[in-house]
Structure 1
Amino acid sequence: MAHDTMRSPSVLRSSTFLRLWTATTASGIATWALPFVLGLAVLSRSITAVELGVLLAARTAGFLAAVPVSGVLADRYARRRVVLWSGLVSALAAPVLAAFVGDSLVVAAVAAAAMGAGQGACRPAFQALTAEVVATDQRQQANAAMTLSVRVTTLVAPGLTALLALVANTQVLLLGIGALWLVAALVPPAGTGITSPGSGAGFVADFWQGVREARRHPWFLAGLGALTAVIATGYSATGVVLPLVSRDRYDTEAVLAGALTAYTLGALAGALLIARWRPRHAGWTALFGLALYGFAPLSLLLPVHPFVVIAAYVVAGLGIELFNVPWFTATQREVEPSKLARVSSLDFLMSYGLAPVGLALIAPAISSFGAPAVLAVCAVACFAAPALAALVPSSRDFGPRR
């Protein structure tokens, strides 16, 4: 595919963007760290596995409840203010969770739900704030820089957190997560204030305006459907089956660790590539990248060498960032600015919000039909859903041709 190099100045030279990048990175680390720290608490017998499940379920419920509400609020009011209050909610919930984890499950679950709500509330606001403070020709590089920080965190943070756990208990680590949320709340720059006063008919009516805005963009609906299908099938299936295959087929945990690390390294490579690459047809390139995830369940289906599984996860990670960065960039470019947070909230709600549903259904499906049948269906879905989305004319460029 033809492409050209980026001619605009580097977004990394902008102090405004660096403040935004620091805040989103802090929120990303805090979001990742909570389930990991709670998992370490299970290992140290501070909490039980059942309590861990309750706390993570509470966090997910808080996230799902807050995302649509935040989308409306971030379009009604200053995005910077929504980020501030979202971060403060999570920051204040952290010491409560630290104080009651392992003691009162009810209070700890409420605190976990509050942290999930803060996490969910900041996501659409950050997306809209990025469109406010970053110039159009720099957004692809900006989105790539932010996803790079997430991938680097995923790669190095588990080891660092495990080392910290040797000298600090669960409570101290949870307070550290609260400090990260303070950074996310206080550091971001002010935006340009592109907001809508709302319809005056309430949250539901205002959120439905965002849905109508999303429906004006057929490429968005097609891409969101493809992304949701890949996450609900391929992502969920490999999350459940990969540990089983690593244990039963290869008789080692090294395949599990290697595949997860390979996925992150592939995503890092994808983010670095798409930061400067301008494909001629960005939408088709992104959907092709999304379809590459199908090689992950396919590698688990076939009796291949372990290195083939690891290579498949490198390809899957590479492809997911070839999708993510152009997807976010196109949404920020094409959607009506005063409705961007609501459309972004619909994106997060449908794609990542339905991931737990996929995870919950995969295990019973494997029990009923067997892992090979489930993996085959998931692989086909991962390849077919982006291909069907690519048939929508405006999907070629994620918007009208320019």
Structure 2
Amino acid sequence: MTAADLVPPSARPSRADRNYRLLTAAAIITGLGTNGALIAAAFAVLESGGDAGDVGLVAAARTAPLVLFLLIGGAVADRLPRHRVMVASNTLNCVSQAVFAWLVLAGDARLWQMMVLTALCGTGQAFNPAAEGMLMSTVSGEQASRAFALFRMSMQGAAIGGAALGGAMIAAMDPGWVLAVDAAAFAVAGALRSFLDVSHIPARAPGGGLLADLRDGWREFVGRTWLWAVVAQFSVVVAAVGAAEAVYGPLVARDELGGARPWGLALAAFGVGTLGGAVLMMRWKPRRLLLAGTLCVFPLALPSAGLAVPLPVAGLCAVMFVSGAAIEVFGVSWMTALHQEIPEEKLSRVSAYDWFGSVAMVPLATALAGPVESLAGRSQALWGCAALVVLVTGAVLFVPDVRNLTRRTAPTELVARGTPASADAEGAVGRLG
């Protein structure tokens, strides 16, 4: 049973067909496995005799190839059949996690081996733009927001459930078994994606090679002011939030709130908030997509500010809940805008540039978090993170295309590159014939 089956037929997206169900089911299964495996990998390192620095090296080994290969993954996904790219990616993830599990269960896992295998898993995840492009090509324009909201709600539920299940399994058995479950999850997801129907997707015209595809994707990306402006905004927002929550949050919890449990509760509140935001977006369809979404980025400054005070546990959970709900409003609005404005054959490439811009600064931000704390103090560093979120979000609202991009309720011709549909009648834009 998938998440789509739990929703009454009247509430389902009109195109929640076989492809949508298969994609949602595969995403839930991999989400459950991956979020448990992230915890298991850290404990596997510690149980093999590693320290916190070794845990960080293994985590970096997953992130580095993800950043390195994202753009290539997006171009490949637009060049080759997306379902085959997804199956190949899941196969690589399955094999790497299976070997990782075997080494851990055998008690012979070395740091370099764990880093290499984790890097292979990160490489597979770099081809995720294929899944996003396939999802966007599956749903209809009018019901896209509801479909994306249901999909994101399923993903967030899988993230919460996967982390909880992984933690419970690690408490009861060797972390290697959690890694083995993750490998099995990738195998099942790959099998489901192999049954996707791609007959509705036009055949790809012969191109000029991978580099030509990357250049074409770059032109599509920079030719739309709203697109590169929001991605530039999120390169700072994600870096600031990442430093606050991945580095400073656990430290504040340890020193000010009584240990890891309060921080776990706060993260759980964030997860519950994302579910609430997704439920809201199944019903709410803001007319000015990016204006509504961008306004909901401001609450992402609240967790950093709450940690800077620091707020008591109840207050911190409250601001984490609000920020979780707000980011889902942005996320669904953003996916709807991409679905509406980007040509189908370029969705994966544009998605790859979006992902790359959003995560590229995270390693630098987390690496600088410690030195900044030493120079300015933890509270000042956290206030700085909150201020960065507010400043760049306020700045992007000065971009007219961000304020004016409007939801189209009926199929229309493609909007001219770089010019979203205006919210005002006098702002009518040129059309491509």
Calculate the TM-score normalised by the size of structure 2.
0.84
Q: How far apart, CA to CA, are the structure 2 residues paired with 1:105 and 1:148? A: 35
Cα-to-partner distance string for 1:280-335 (whole Å, 9 max, x where unaligned) = 32211100111110111111222544322221111111111111111112112211
Residue identity matched to 2:398 = L
Instruction: Establish whether residue 125 from structure 1 lines up as the match of residue 130 from structure 2.
Output: yes
- The alignment status of 1:139 with 2:141, answered yes or no, reads no
State the match for 2:50 in structure 1.
Answer: 48
Distance change in 2, residues 1:248/1:105 (3 Å): closer
Using the TM superposition, give the Cα deviation of residue 16 of structure 1 relative to its aligned residue in structure 2, in angstroms: 2.5
SS in 2 for 1:187: helix
Bigger mean CA offset, 314-323 vs 188-197: 188-197
Question: 2:159 matched to which residue of 1?
Answer: 154
Alignment correspondent of 2:297: 290
CA distance in 2, matches of 1:151, 1:296: 19
Aligned to 2:422: 401
**Aligned residue identity for 1:161:** G
Structure 1 distance, partners of 2:81, 2:91, is 16
Q: Is the 8 A contact 2:266 2:313 kept in 1?
A: no
Contact 1:218/1:394, CA 8 A, preserved across alignment: yes
Q: Residues of 2 paired with 1:144 and 1:215: CA distance?
A: 27
In structure 1, the partner of 2:219 is 212
Matches within 5 A, 1:68-83: 68-83=71-86
| Residues 227, 290 of structure 1: 8 Å contact kept | no
Q: Distance in 2 between matches of 1:93 and 1:342?
A: 25
Give the counterpart of 1:227 among 230, 234, 238: 234
Is the CA contact 2:273–2:325 (under 8 Å) kept in the aligned structure 1? Answer: yes
Match 1:59 to one of 62, 83, 86: 62
How far is 1:370 from its partner? Answer: 1.1
> Retained in 1: the 8 A contact 2:69–2:126?
yes
**One-letter code aligned to 1:301:** A
Query: Could you tell me whether the CA contact under 8 Å between 1:152 and 1:268 is conserved in 2?
Result: yes
Higher helix share: 1
Q: d(CA) in 2 for partners of 1:277 and 1:181?
A: 33
- How far residue 70 of structure 1 moved from its aligned partner, in angstroms, is 1.1
Once residues 198 and 361 of structure 1 are traced to their aligned partners in structure 2, the CA distance between those partners, rounded to angstroms, is 44
Structure 1 residues not aligned, in runs of 5+: 1-6
Q: Distance in 1 between matches of 2:304 and 2:329?
A: 19
1:91 matched to 2:84? The reply is no
Q: Helix, strand or coil: the match of 1:48?
A: coil
Q: Alignment length, in residue pairs?
A: 394
Task: Give the aligned residue type for 1:193.
Answer: I
Conserved? CA contact 2:83–2:130, under 8 Å: yes
Q: Is 1:103 the counterpart of 2:112 in the alignment?
A: no
Residue 167 to residue 256, structure 1, CA distance change in 2 (3 Å): closer
1:172 and 2:172 correspond: no
Take 1:64 and 1:236, find their aligned partners in 2: how far apart are those partners?
17
Please say if residues 63 and 117 of structure 1, whose CA atoms lie closer than 8 Å, have aligned partners that are also in contact: yes
CA pair 247-173 structure 1, distance change in 2 beyond 3 A: closer
Structure 1 length-normalised TM: 0.91
Instruction: Look up the SS of the partner of 1:280 in the other structure.
Output: coil
CA contact (8 A) 1:270 1:322 kept: yes
In the alignment, structure 2 segments of 5+ residues that lack a partner are 1-9, 406-419, 424-433
Percent identical among aligned pairs is 27
Q: After superposing the two structures, state which structure 1 stretch, 212-221 or 232-241, moved more.
A: 232-241
User: How far has the Cα of 1:214 moved from its partner?
Assistant: 0.9
